[in-house]
Amino acid sequence: MKKDTNKIDQEILQDKINLVIARLDASSPNLFFSSGNSRETVSRDDMIEHVRNCDDVGRNFIAEQFEFLRAFKDGSLVDLIAQNLE
């Protein structure tokens, strides 16, 4: 049973990686990202590599992307934008 759970977890992680890479591929190659308290910027192509390698930067970016998508889905992102427009 544990083996099946690990396989499913790996499949879910791979699906998340593929989704984030697809979103990055759809963005401008001139796009740069910064994350957290870091002053370092990362190009779109470098971010794709971080996500593909699933290193610390890539895992953080995946988490941020899914946080954004959840906020968009549940409407809290729209609420936040509306509050800032008032």
Q: pLDDT tens-digit profile of 62-86?
A: 999 999 999 989 988 888 788 877 7
pTM of the model: 0.82
Nearest to 42 by CA among 52, 26, 31: 31
- pLDDT tens for 25-57 read 999 999 999 876 667 899 999 999 999 999 999
- Domain ranges across the chain: 2-85
Q: What is the pLDDT of residue 13?
A: 94
